[in-house]
Amino acid sequence: MARFLAARGEGAEWYDARPAPQDLELMTQLGFVQGDPARPYTRVVAAPGVPIDHPDLLRLSAGGAEILGEVELAYRAFPDVPMVGVTGTAGKGSTTVLIAELLRSHGLKAREGGNIDPPLLDVIAQAEVAVVELSSFQLERVPSFRPAVAVISNLGVDHLDRHGSVQAYHAAKRNITAHQTPGDVLILAPGLDVPTRAQVMHFDPARLMLASGREVLPVAELPEGVHPANAAAALLAAEALLTRLGREPDPALLAAALRQARAVHGRFETVARLQTAAGTLRFINDSIATRTLAVQAALEQAAPPVAWLVGGRDKGAELEPLREAAQGKVVRVIGFGEDGEKFAGALGLPFFLVGGESGEAMMDNAVQAAVGALSLDGPPQGTVLLSPIGTSFDAFRDYQERGDAFTRAVQRVLTQLQSQEVKL
């Protein structure tokens, strides 16, 4: 945000209760001075990690400041850039990327950003159309944000430590449509009902079709790792925005873009596969999956038999739906990290626990144990699935670092398997 404001020649002050040395250096280079939350300000752009009821924000708001987020700032700075907003408990990142790819297939300069890398402020100036992933944290600070098209992929349970209740969490998610008008479009999951003034469409995960009912692509032809629900929602969103811009959606272009789609890094991403005498052995990195709905979707997609890696730090995910989704598919649960034993023991399935002196060593041990579990009756086959339930912060910087450690561990195990002359 500081770089964005500096590039536009806008003045601002900044405040961080615990500034890092590199931040202090950057702000000095950009010419920004530290502010004081006890003083009055007109506008305050708060990072999403700061709770909306933080005492400093409450004090600033009481003093007359309008509290914004980065997305609201971008929306106001570029009012002529049409935006698609995407939120949901699970699938919003993959859906965001899919929508941008579908729009690019029609020659639009579409850029994705927001809750995924890169931040929206980094891409908005180069965008003809912006597709924005929105977390519940971000949606607490969008006082006028009005996307031309909004998507709510699903509503489950998450971030109760932040929002306090499921109702408050869902209310934050529904803010995505709070300022939409009858000329806008809201796309919802089947059976989901959200108060809105926008035109409502429901996507059907069983059919990849346009609003007219015309099928674009059979679900069976989607690439591995692309969830049908995400693809169905993305199709309707891309169609709605193209129509808004006066462009005719081309089913052939949309189908071609879907066939070329790939899983987003760390989101049900097949990082390796090995053909053995028994069949195919797949390794899937779904490190971002810390929500019940996301883990459930991964279990439903994974080809059995499955060795399932669970662990990290518990954030309160519901486990009962996961027990049901794992039945008949998961042959062994591999528990790792701070709450790996807690998760593995609660799932009611055979499990094995691993440790390690570092996150890297722990992931090595987990992948080796998973391959061993799929090798009991001969050469390994099936799926090694990292869909961990817990956050990464017990042993890794973030979910990406955890997923990268998994990928490196997979490569080392593959080297061992190949040295043992597994049939390729």
User: How far, rounded to the nearest angstrom, does the alpha carbon of residue 129 sit from its chain's CA centroid?
Assistant: 20
Cα angle, residue 262 at apex, residues 283 and 240 outer, rounded to 5° = 145
Ligand-binding annotation for 375, yes or no, is no
What are the Cα distances from residue 133, in Å, to 89, 197, 331, 334? 11, 21, 35, 32
Ligand-binding annotation for 90, yes or no, is yes
Q: Other CB atoms closer than 10 Å to residue 313's CB: what's the count?
A: 17
Ligand-binding annotation for 232, yes or no, is no
Ligand-binding annotation for 92, yes or no, is yes
- Taking only Cα atoms into account, the Rg of the chain, rounded to an integer number of angstroms, comes to 23
d(CA 96, CA 117): 11
Q: Quick one: 189 exposed, middle or buried, by C-beta within 10 A (0-12, 13-18, 19+)? A: buried
d(CA 224, CA 209): 19
d(CA 215, CA 29): 54
Q: Burial letters for 118-140: b for 16+ Cβ neighbours within 10 Å, e otherwise?
A: ebbbbbbeebebbbbbbbbbbbb
Ligand-binding annotation for 93, yes or no, is yes
d(CA 396, CA 124): 31
d(CA 257, CA 221): 12
Ligand-binding annotation for 35, yes or no, is no
112 and 128 in contact (C-beta within 8 Å)?
no
Ligand-binding annotation for 405, yes or no, is no
SS (H, E, C) 11-22: CCEECCCCCCHH
278 and 399 in contact (C-beta within 8 Å)?
no
Residues in binding site for ATP: 88-94
Residues of the binding site = 88-94
